[in-house]
Structure 1
């Protein structure tokens, strides 16, 4: 019974979310940004190895036409007020981290996209130093999540390029 269920589910093409494999033609990525050593660029470079992708230099990218190029735009962080204390001080924010980017596959048109990551952040005016460090950790986590999403989206963006061309 269990074997029949597993066979029928896998036969229809079902995959767990996040397990979509990148095409074999995508194995080298060049990351370009307006600002050198931008935090999002560093996060993306660190996450590439998890997906067995090689981070290449601009020179290497120009030599190999199969290299995928990701152009990062400046990241944005917006705070939306969620609640206040009785004293009128802010108690809770919604942090909205967004990163616009463009993906360029070999001999294809560039695809512009944007990723947003949301988090709720509780502020405590009595613990300013601790909350400052916590905010840095939350931002790092949000950048890592955005980098993971960006890499996972490469597969569907690649498929859409093939379909439309």
Structure 2
């Protein structure tokens, strides 16, 4: 057992020396160098882990950054996937959906999207403690994968794309403001009808 552990450790050192990195452990290069990060659950595990990964990747996470990443909703669903004999063990499928929004200048919405991760675990009624521990580990794995996928989404965003999204958002906001102003002017130009006078009995 000790020999096997030493062999695994030796291989890990050798691979890291060659520049190989295990998934999720390396530093990801992002073109986005600063961002404001917030979430509905401000002290939740997902936003905390995401902030740490972004900072490790060289992103300055601070209030007042030109772009804001908001984790708007994180929802978990669980369903029974299959049963294994006499109702003793059940396979559960855990699905977590993370919705997010990116806002730019003037607090205009640039992008809305969501990330979904699914994993399956076995719940054994004869080993409740072990099953609960496995469920907790699966939830931790899902959270790590959500964070990894979120970072990959951000990695794909270039300054040019963000500038284009900001321009589109500015144009939409301008068109909406013009439409509201036109509606207001039309309402002001419409003569107000005097209240109907009912004939006295």
Superposition TM-score, scaled by structure 2 size: 0.59
- SS of residue paired to 2:124: coil
CA positional deviation for 1:163: 4.7
Deviations 1:90-129 (A, max 9, x none): 5211211111011124466421110011111111111212
Q: Which has the higher contact order (CA 8 A, sep 6+)?
A: 1
Q: 2:100, 2:113 within 8 Å by CA — same for their partners in 1?
A: yes
Instruction: Find the aligned partners of 1:52 and 1:31 in 2 and give their Cα distance.
Output: 14
**Shift in alpha-carbon separation, 1:163–1:90, aligned structure 2, 3 A:** farther
The count of corresponding residues between Structure 1 and Structure 2 is 139
When normalised by structure 1's length, the TM-score is 0.70
Q: Pairwise CA RMSD of aligned residues?
A: 2.6
Task: Give the direction of change, closer, same or farther, for the CA distance of 1:96–1:86 in structure 2 (3 Å limit).
Answer: same
Secondary structure of the equivalent of 1:147? helix
Please give the alpha-carbon distance, in whole angstroms, between the structure 2 residues aligned to 1:27 and 1:90. 48
Alignment of 1:49-128 (within 5 A): 49-56=55-62, 61-62=63-64, 64=65, 66=66, 68-89=67-88, 91-106=90-105, 109-128=109-128
Unaligned runs of at least 5 residues, structure 2: 1-23, 168-201
Instruction: Mark the runs of 5 or more structure 1 residues left unpaired by the alignment.
Output: 1-17
Regions of 4+ moved over 4 Å = 18-21
Task: Output one character per residue of 1:34-79: Cα deviation in whole Å (capped at 9) or x when no partner.
Answer: 22302211121222134222222xxxx22x4x3x311112311112
